[in-house]
């Protein structure tokens, strides 16, 4: 935890120092505004001493003027501090949110496969707002507390060393109790934070799968499971809060003892003529101010550690190395022809499940390749390896004789258009989703691409046409409509290498016919890899590769493979006979 805290504050400081001027203003004006709590009681002491003495009106008014001026200076210092803080904290929080965004999106697909989306969002939010909590504590609690306590001790020391010593010992005892108590409480706060993230992840998972919950009669099961987790969170949260209640009970007892004890000593000193009536006002003012600030010390320490524990989960993500990274000498991929080669490829998922075993495949520039095979044969894995969603364990993949591990991922993805089987759209307009393939595309180009992808007609039927919001993940569209939007986006991108993973699987026969025509024009002058179960999709490919257990068992065009009595002919016969392979 100490190392994580060190990393956390290193990150915070890295972004804080970007705004040195506003930070400096805060560090200057916060102490100035805090001086009021020390200086004003001194003037009130003089005021009441004068009132108990000769009662000179001019002197009394003089003290009131000094008090007014002091309050004015404090008011100005506080105002400068608030405006500087508004700028400083909001800028740093925006930077931290951007850091979370960048860090999360640089992780590999495997990272997201093993994480809940809702939990990741909550971790990022907690990390950002933890900075706000910590910054507020330091700005509005810690700095004023230190300023007030140090200066109050100095003033009291000039009045009575005994009073100053008693308060100092009490402060040390009070702070030590709160500190060690907060350290004890921290481990329970970490458990609470982890359980809180787990509850959020469970909620997000069930919302994502809400249709399955309904159709598989899972509501009672999921509700019971969620209630179990929230009850566990309730117990952890209640225990943590009760610990805070115990701490405040001890604090209250210490405060009562200090106040009574100080006045007992003050009365004795007054009897000896050491203290005046004004000194009682001064001491009471300091005691009240110290109590007000020190009472919050326990909560301040606990909130501080709670904030650091909230931020811990995101720091762990920062500390997690990126699984797929650009090499130090990575260069831009230059695609002149589009030739692809898989050479001696080995790949296993999680070191346990062998998928690709000594795989070799050469795809000529401009060649159209269809890849088929039973589920689990390695079709989609090959695409993921080509896209560097995963890295091969052995062997190499080349594009125009350039190893993809030696080029930047951005340049690799720039030169490959990928249309997945399950299309997920942004909760944005249709226009924005299509233009995502090429943000520089004109509206006319979008309409042209949409026409080729056979989606312009249904888009025209919407009230807002291309400005229609598609809903989260594109839920407002049917599966076939989402697929056609994805193909329009691919047409807009127009990369030299095209990869289609069951890209027409959600289309009806009529739509597929139009899409096939669009794909025919899209495939021209491109190297194409098409993964399909529906063999009609790939029968016109230059070459069809049949996979089984991560190896090529057949290769040839449609007519050649039908002449063999292999797996392809078997699958074709089933589909022609009316069965789905």
- Predicted confidence (pLDDT) per residue in 120-155, tens digit: 888 888 889 999 999 999 998 889 888 888 888 888
pLDDT at 581 over 50: no
Residue 371's closest CA among 551, 522, 512, 506? Answer: 551
Which tens digits make up the pLDDT trace of 512-535? 676 777 777 678 788 999 888 777
pLDDT of amino acid 540: 82
Q: Give the pLDDT mean for 299-308.
A: 80
Distance (Å, whole) CA 201 – CA 282? 54
What percentage of the chain exceeds 90 in pLDDT? 14
pLDDT of amino acid 560: 84
Measure the CA angle with vertex 522, ends 518 and 524; round to 5°.
Answer: 125
pLDDT of amino acid 274: 75
User: Please, what's the largest Cα pairwise distance for the chain?
Assistant: 122
Q: Give the pLDDT mean for 411-423.
A: 85
pLDDT of amino acid 86: 92
Q: Which of 232-236, 390-394, 576-580 has the lowest mean pLDDT?
A: 576-580
Which tens digits make up the pLDDT trace of 6-26? 888 889 999 999 999 999 999
Rounding to the nearest 10 degrees, give the CA dihedral for residues 554, 559, 562, 568.
40
pLDDT higher at 299 or 398: 398
User: Where would I find the H helices in 272-401?
Assistant: 277-319, 379-386
Give CA separation, 470 vs 345, 428, 445, 456, in Å. Answer: 40, 6, 20, 15
Distance (Å, whole) CA 535 – CA 523? 17
Say if domain 2-319 classifies as CATH 3.40.50.150. Answer: no
The architecture that CATH gives domain 418-494 is 3-Layer(aba) Sandwich (3.40)
pLDDT at 1 over 60: no
Which tens digits make up the pLDDT trace of 365-409? 989 999 988 777 888 888 888 988 888 888 899 999 899 989 998
If pLDDT is split at 50, 70 and 90, which confidence band does 511 have? Answer: low
Q: Which of 13-22, 446-455, 501-510, 550-559 has the lowest mean pLDDT?
A: 501-510
In the chain, domain spans: 2-319, 418-494
Distance (Å, whole) CA 132 – CA 273? 49
pTM equals 0.72
pLDDT of amino acid 95: 92
Residue 258's closest CA among 173, 141, 156, 176? Answer: 173
pLDDT of amino acid 88: 94
pLDDT of amino acid 470: 82
pLDDT of amino acid 579: 40
pLDDT of amino acid 30: 92
pLDDT of amino acid 508: 65
pLDDT at 353 over 70: no
Which tens digits make up the pLDDT trace of 253-294? 887 887 788 778 778 777 777 777 777 777 777 777 777 777
Residue 551 near residue 381 (C-beta atoms within 8 A) = no
Give CA separation, 160 vs 39, 135, 286, 573, in Å. Answer: 18, 36, 14, 103
If pLDDT is split at 50, 70 and 90, which confidence band does 350 have? Answer: low
pLDDT of amino acid 577: 54
Distance (Å, whole) CA 229 – CA 242? 20
pLDDT higher at 305 or 448: 448
Rounding to the nearest 10 degrees, give the CA dihedral for residues 463, 466, 468, 469.
170
Q: Give the pLDDT mean for 193-217.
A: 75
Average pLDDT, the chain: 83
pLDDT at 232 over 80: yes
């Amino acid at each position: 935890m100490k190392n994580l805290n060190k990393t956390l504050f290193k990150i915070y400081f890295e972004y804080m120092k970007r705004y040195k001027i506003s930070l400096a203003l805060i560090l200057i004006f916060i102490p100035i505004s805090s001086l009021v709590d020390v200086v004003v009681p001194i003037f009130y002491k003089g005021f009441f001493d004068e009132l108990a003495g000769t009662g000179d009106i001019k002197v009394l008014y003089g003290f009131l003027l000094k008090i007014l001026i002091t309050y004015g200076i404090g008011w100005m210092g506080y105002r400068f501090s608030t405006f500087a803080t508004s700028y400083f904290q909001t800028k740093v929080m925006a930077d931290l949110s951007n850091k979370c965004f960048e860090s999360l999106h640089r992780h590999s697909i495997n990272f997201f496969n093993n994480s809940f989306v809702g939990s990741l969002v909550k971790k990022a939010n907690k990390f950002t707002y933890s900075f706000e909590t910590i910054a507020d504590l330091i700005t509005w609690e810690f700095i004023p507390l230190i300023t007030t306590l140090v200066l109050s001790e100095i003033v009291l020391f000039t009045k009575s060393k005994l009073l100053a010593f008693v308060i100092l010992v009490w402060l040390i005892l009070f702070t030590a109790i709160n500190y060690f108590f907060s350290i004890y409480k921290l481990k329970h706060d970490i458990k609470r934070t982890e359980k809180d993230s787990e509850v959020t992840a469970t909620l997000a998972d069930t919302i994502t799968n809400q249709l399955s919950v309904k159709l598989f009669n899972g509501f009672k099961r999921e509700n019971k499971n969620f209630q179990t987790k929230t009850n566990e969170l309730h117990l952890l949260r209640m225990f943590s809060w009760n610990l805070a209640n115990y701490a405040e009970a001890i604090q209250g007892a210490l405060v009562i003892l200090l106040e009574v004890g100080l006045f007992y000593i003050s009365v004795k000193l007054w009897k000896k003529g050491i203290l005046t009536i004004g000194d009682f006002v001064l001491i009471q003012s300091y005691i009240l101010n110290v109590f007000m600030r020190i009472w919050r010390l326990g909560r301040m320490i606990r909130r501080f550690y709670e904030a650091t524990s909230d931020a811990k989960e995101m720091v762990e993500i920062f500390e997690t190395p990126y699984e797929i990274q650009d090499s130090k000498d990575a260069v831009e991929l230059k695609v002149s022809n589009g030739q692809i080669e898989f050479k001696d490829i080995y790949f296993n998922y999680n070191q346990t499940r062998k998928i690709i075993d000594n795989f070799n495949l050469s795809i000529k520039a401009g060649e159209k390749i269809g890849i088929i095979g039973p589920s689990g044969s390695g079709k989609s894995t090959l695409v993921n390896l080509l896209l560097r969603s995963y890295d091969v364990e052995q062997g190499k993949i080349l594009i125009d004789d350039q190893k993809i591990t030696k080029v930047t991922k951005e340049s690799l993805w720039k030169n490959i258009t990928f249309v997945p089987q399950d299309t997920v759209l942004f909760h944005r307009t249709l226009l924005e989703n299509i233009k995502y393939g090429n943000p520089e595309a004109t509206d006319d180009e979008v309409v042209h691409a949409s026409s080729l992808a056979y989606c312009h007609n249904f888009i025209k039927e919407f009230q807002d046409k291309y400005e229609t919001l598609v809903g989260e993940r594109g839920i407002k569209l049917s599966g076939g409509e989402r697929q056609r939007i994805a193909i329009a986006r691919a047409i807009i991108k127009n990369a030299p290498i095209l990869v289609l993973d069951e890209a027409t699987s959600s289309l009806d026969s009529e739509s597929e016919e139009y899409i096939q025509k669009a794909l025919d024009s899209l495939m021209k002058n491109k190297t194409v890899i098409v993964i399909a179960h529906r063999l009609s999709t790939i029968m016109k490919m230059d070459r069809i590769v049949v996979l089984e257990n991560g190896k090529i068992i057949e290769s040839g065009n449609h007519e050649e493979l039908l002449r063999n009595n292999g797996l392809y002919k078997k699958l074709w016969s089933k589909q022609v006979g009316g069965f789905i392979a």
